[in-house]
Amino acid sequence: MPILHALDVVLELLRPGLLWLFVMLAVVAGVDWAVRTRRINPFGRIARVVRTNVDPLLMPIERVVVRSGGLPSNAPLWSLVFVAVGGVLLIATLGFIREQLDLVLAALGGGAKGVYRLLVSWVFMILQIAILVRVVQSWVHFRLGAWYSRWAFKISEPVLRPIRNLIPLFGGMDLSPIVAWFLLGFVETALLRAW
């Protein structure tokens, strides 16, 4: 399939490209950090080049860092973290899309049984992702009414509520997500073996 081949080519080019971008940005961020912390003469030629070419690009990140209570001198390092996380997320997203397209093509080739298996896998994957999002939200304390948490609550609550009613809290900890995760795995396996 041409689209799968195109995604493979993009991923093969993107991985080393992002690695080289990260390495170059690490050098630039290191020099900028050294200028900001006065490890390099702030009045020298390198500092002037950094202040005129790099610092304007880092201003949005610096504002976020300062608003969060950080030091402005840490903006280059945080920009490097953002680039690394963004690159990993981009590669993971493209890999996920490629994998799902491959699954769809295999399911369509398998007829009704293949489509059934694909739909069952997708439903349980979405349920497990919703449970995972709920667990992460409980650690990070996102706003419960926000759009990024509402969908996970609506999808996972019908699964978690009955389990929560059966299993009491254990030392103040809710074990229903763990139990639901394993139960969903067993039910998915049973449904996939059924046909």
Per-residue model confidence as pLDDT tens digits over 54-113: 989 989 999 988 998 888 888 899 999 999 999 999 999 999 999 999 989 989 998 999
Question: Does residue 188 surpass a pLDDT of 70?
Answer: yes
Q: 154 phi and psi, to 5 degrees?
A: -65, -35
- Does 2 share its domain with 82? yes
Residue that is last in its domain, among 109, 142, 162: 109
- Does 18 share its domain with 38? yes
Quote the tokens at residue 89: 């997320």
- Does 78 share its domain with 139? no
Mean pLDDT, all residues of the chain: 90
Residue that is last in its domain, among 63, 93, 109: 109
- Does 30 share its domain with 97? yes
Question: Does residue 141 surpass a pLDDT of 80?
Answer: no
- Does 13 share its domain with 92? yes
Residue indicated by tokens 């860092």: 65
Report the distance separating Cα 132 and Cα 66, nearest Å.
31
**Mean pLDDT score, 31-41:** 90
- Does 104 share its domain with 120? no
- Does 36 share its domain with 94? yes
Question: Does residue 185 surpass a pLDDT of 90?
Answer: yes
3-state secondary structure of 170: strand
Question: Does residue 142 surpass a pLDDT of 70?
Answer: no
Give the domain range for residue 100: 1-109
- Which sign, positive or negative, has the C-alpha torsion 151, 4, 121, 136? negative
- Does 16 share its domain with 44? yes
Cβ(109)–Cβ(1) below 8 Å: no
More confident residue, 113 or 171: 113
- Does 10 share its domain with 32? yes
Number of domains in the chain: 2
Is 0.75 surpassed by the pTM of this model? no
Question: Does residue 144 surpass a pLDDT of 70?
Answer: no
Q: For a pLDDT cut of 70, what percent of the chain falls above it?
A: 97
Residue that is last in its domain, among 109, 143, 160: 109
- Does 70 share its domain with 116? no
- Does 72 share its domain with 140? no
- Does 34 share its domain with 123? no
**Mean pLDDT score, 35-48:** 90
Question: Does residue 140 surpass a pLDDT of 80?
Answer: no
**DSSP H helical ranges for the chain:** 2-36, 45-53, 55-67, 75-109, 111-140, 147-166, 176-194
Report the distance separating Cα 79 and Cα 60, nearest Å.
10
What pLDDT does 157 receive? Answer: 93
Report the distance separating Cα 134 and Cα 177, nearest Å.
8
What pLDDT does 6 receive? Answer: 92
